[in-house]
């Protein structure tokens, strides 16, 4: 199962975000992967990842997936399994960009105004944990990036792994979590609302 970032189906937008020549390189790589069966053989999934260029919410995952499918097929005959849309989490470099451009407050307002309680049951931190290189446990990759480990010191390391305790642990949250709960929600698996239906459909396929 491969997951590949392709922030737009248009060359101009990809090269502006990622640098000159990145789009063509990505197209070449996707063609090779298609030739190997990825994105075509049901056992060789090839998911593409979209994230907005700036401080906006991603569009509907379903609608954008249709656009990607049509455009990449028409232009290059490229096939893929599923599009994943991700909301930019306001930490690290992206948070720095927001501060420099004076858009930090505006972006947090956008995220909190779009808070969707229906996303909460499917949040990544409710169903998985992240492990760093030396075995410490984190509620998610974002908390790992922020160096905020699991709150309970008794299960903070993989050597203390205890499923029941971890399932019922308190999760470290802060305002960056608003990116996961805005609109249709966001996770490494894409939108969160309607996820069960999407998973059921995929499993059926
Ligand atoms: S950023 Fe917050 S809400 Fe999102 S997965 Fe991590 S802990 Fe959960």
Does ligand 1 have an atom closer than 6 angstroms to the CB of 171? yes
CA–CA distance, 132 with 148 (Å, rounded to integer): 11
Which atom of ligand 1 lies at the shortest distance from residue 172's CA? 7
Angle, CA 163 vertex, CA 162 and CA 167 arms, to 5°: 120
In this model, does residue 201 exceed pLDDT 80? Answer: no
CB atoms within 10 A of CB 8: 21
Is residue 7 classed as helix, strand or coil in its secondary structure?
Answer: coil
Residue 125 bridge partners (DSSP): none
**Residue 148, pLDDT above cutoff 70:** yes
Residue 154 CB partners (closer than 8 Å, separation 6+): 160, 162, 165
65 C-alpha vs ligand 1 centroid, how far in Å?
A: 24
Q: What is the mean pLDDT of the chain?
A: 92
The mean pLDDT of 160-175, rounded to a whole number, is 96
Token reading at 13? 């937008």
Question: Ligand 1 centroid to 173 CA: how many Å?
Answer: 6
Q: What is the pLDDT of residues 59-108, one digit of tens each?
A: 999 999 999 999 999 999 999 999 999 999 999 999 999 999 999 999 99
Q: Give mean pLDDT, residues 2-21.
A: 89
Domain segments of the chain as ranges: 2-85, 92-181
Q: What is the pLDDT of residue 117?
A: 96
Q: Confirm if 199 and 81 have CB atoms less than 8 A apart.
A: no
Q: Which ligand 1 atom is at minimum distance from the Cα of 141?
A: 6
Nearest to 150 by CA among 169, 178, 128, 127: 169
Long-range contact set of residues 126-133: C-beta below 8 Å, sequence gap at least 24: 126/171, 129/166, 131/158
Of 36, 26, 35, 31, the C-alpha closest to 5 is 26
Question: Pick from 87, 65, 58: which is nearest to 187 by CA?
Answer: 87
Residue 82 carries which DSSP code? E
CA of 89 to the centre of ligand 1 (A): 10
111 lines ligand 1 (CB under 6 A): no
The mean pLDDT of 149-171, rounded to a whole number, is 96
Range name among 111-125, 148-162, 180-194 with the lowest pLDDT average: 180-194
98 lines ligand 1 (CB under 6 A): no
Task: Give the per-residue pLDDT at 16.
Answer: 84
Pocket lining: 81 vs ligand 1, CB cutoff 6 Å: no
Residue 195: predicted pLDDT:
52
Asked if residue 47 has its Cβ within 6 Å of ligand 1, the reply is no
Return the pLDDT at 202. Answer: 39
pLDDT attached to residue 90: 97
Over residues 36-54, the mean pLDDT reads 94
pLDDT of res. 200 = 43
Q: Is residue 158 over pLDDT 70? A: yes
Question: Could you tell me the distance, in angstroms and rounded to a whole number, from the CA of residue 86 to the centre of ligand 1?
Answer: 13
Per residue in 135-147, pLDDT tens? 999 999 999 999 9
Question: 204 pLDDT exceeds 70?
Answer: no
Distance (Å, whole) CA 82 – CA 91: 26
Q: For the CA atoms of the chain, what is the radius of gyration?
A: 18
Does residue 125 line the site of ligand 1, with CB under 6 A? yes
Q: Give the integer Cα–Cα distance in Å for 118 and 192.
A: 8
Percent of the chain with pLDDT over 90: 84
The mean per-residue pLDDT over the stretch 193-199 comes to 58
pLDDT of residue 196: 53
CA 180–ligand 1 middle distance (angstroms): 6
pLDDT at residue 112 above 90?
yes
Q: How far is Cα 68 from Cα 202, in angstroms, rounded to an integer? A: 18
CA of 25 to the centre of ligand 1 (A): 32
Q: Which parts of the chain fold into alpha helices (H)?
A: 11-18, 22-35, 61-76, 92-100, 104-113, 124-127, 141-145, 163-167, 178-181, 195-204
């Amino acid at each position: 199962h491969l997951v590949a970032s392709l922030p737009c189906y248009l060359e101009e937008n990809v090269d502006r975000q990622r640098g000159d020549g990145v789009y063509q390189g990505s197209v070449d790589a996707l063609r090779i992967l298609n030739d190997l069966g990825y994105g075509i053989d049901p056992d060789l999934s090839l998911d593409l990842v979209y994230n907005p260029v700036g401080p906006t919410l991603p569009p509907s995952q379903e609608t954008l997936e249709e656009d990607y499918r049509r455009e990449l097929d028409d232009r290059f005959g490229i096939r893929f399994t599923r599009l994943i849309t991700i909301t930019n989490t306001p930490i690290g470099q992206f948070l720095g960009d927001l501060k420099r451009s004076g858009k930090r407050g505006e972006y947090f307002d956008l995220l909190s105004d779009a808070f969707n309680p229906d996303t909460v049951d499917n949040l990544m931190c409710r169903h998985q944990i992240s492990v760093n290189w030396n075995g410490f446990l984190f509620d998610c990759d974002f908390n790992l990036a922020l160096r905020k480990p699991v709150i309970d010191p008794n299960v903070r390391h993989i050597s203390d792994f205890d499923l029941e305790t971890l399932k019922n642990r308190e999760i470290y949250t802060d305002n960056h979590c608003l990116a996961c709960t805005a609109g249709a929600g966001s996770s490494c698996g894409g939108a969160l609302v309607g996820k069960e239906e999407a998973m059921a459909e995929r499993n059926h396929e």
